[in-house]
Amino acid sequence: MAKIEKTPETKASEKMVVKSNEMDPRFKYEISEIPGAEKVMLCFQCGTCTADCPISRFDEFYRPRKLIRMTQLGLKDKLLSNDVIWLCSTCFTCIDHCPQDVGIASIVRALRNLTVERGRMPGIYKEQASNILKTGYAYVISDLRLKKRQEKGLPSLPKANLEGVAKLFDVTGFSKTLEKGEDAK
């Protein structure tokens, strides 16, 4: 007979115990005001999103179903300090498969945006945002590469309107967020 391996019991300290004083009952309403995240309360926890999520197969903590339930429960601080939310690869499989049309990836995006507003942003996003501000493009394209374009007979890359881009960073309030952001994972 095949030997059945016993799963080691999760230590009490590793279990996520939900405490009522950590729940912010207004959080789900706050989230449902954000475009794309309106249907957060319609999730009935079937778990299709997690079952079909490519990231969940390779990461033991990233579970979209769980993130939505935590949002419904109002575990705001736990969610907005958890680096796991940065693992969504925006493949949008969860959005297409959800039987309740919850828009899971958009809710994860909303959680990320709120985390950034609090001043936590992964370094890679900060770098790309600064690149856009400096050059108009997400990457700094070196003079050597621009010269190579010419050698290959490609038309020269237009210069972006940096004044316009910078103005938009200001009017959306993103410039200020960018200044205060400390690095998340």
Partner 1 sequence: MTELKYLLFLGCVIPYRLPSFEISTRRVLDKLGVELVEMPEFNCCGFPLDPVNHDMMLTLAARNLCLAEQQNLNIITLCNGCFGILNHVNKELKEDKKIKEKVNGYLKEIGMEFKGTITVKHLIHVLAEDVGFEKIKETVQKPLNQLRVAQHSGCHVVRPAKYIGFEDPENPTTLKKLIQVTGAKCLDYMDEPECCGAPIVGVNDKIPLQLAREKLDHIKAVGAQAMITCCPYCHIMYDLNQPRIERAFNEKFGIPVLHYPQLLGLAMGIAPEELALKDLRVDATKILNICS
The CB-of-135 to partner 1 minimum distance in angstroms stands at 9
Q: Which residue in the block uniquely carries the two structure tokens 């939505």?
A: 68
User: What does DSSP assign to residue 134?
Assistant: H
**For partner 1, which is the closer residue by CB, 23 or 118?**
118
**For partner 1, which is the closer residue by CB, 7 or 156?**
156
What sign does the CA torsion over 7, 11, 15, 20 have?
A: positive
Residues 120 to 149 in contact with partner 1, rule: CB under 8 A:
121-125, 128-129, 132, 136-139, 141, 145, 148-149
The mark string for 20-39 relative to partner 1 (x by CB under 8 A, - otherwise) is: --------------xxx---
For residues 24-40, one letter each, b for 16 or more C-beta atoms within 10 angstroms of the residue's C-beta and e for the rest, the string is eeebbebbbebeebbbb
29: left (phi over 0), alpha (psi -120 to 50) or beta: alpha
Angle at 102 between CA 101 and CA 104, to 5 degrees: 125
Residue 169 near residue 128, CB atoms below 8 Å: no
Give the pair of three-digit tokens for residue 143. Answer: 């003079």
The CB-of-62 to partner 1 minimum distance in angstroms stands at 9
Among 150, 164, 182, 183, binds partner 1 (CB under 8 A): 164
7: contact with partner 1 by CB under 8 A? no
The CB-of-161 to partner 1 minimum distance in angstroms stands at 5
Residues 55 to 114 in contact with partner 1, rule: CB under 8 A:
55, 58-59, 86-93, 95-96, 109-110, 112-113
CA 56 to chain CA mean position, Å: 14
**Would you call 157 helix, strand, or coil by DSSP?**
coil
**For partner 1, which is the closer residue by CB, 22 or 59?**
59
Q: Which residues bind partner 1 (CB under 8 A)?
A: 34-36, 54-55, 58-59, 86-93, 95-96, 109-110, 112-113, 116, 121-125, 128-129, 132, 136-139, 141, 145, 148-149, 152, 154-155, 157-161, 164-165, 167-169, 171-172, 174, 177, 185
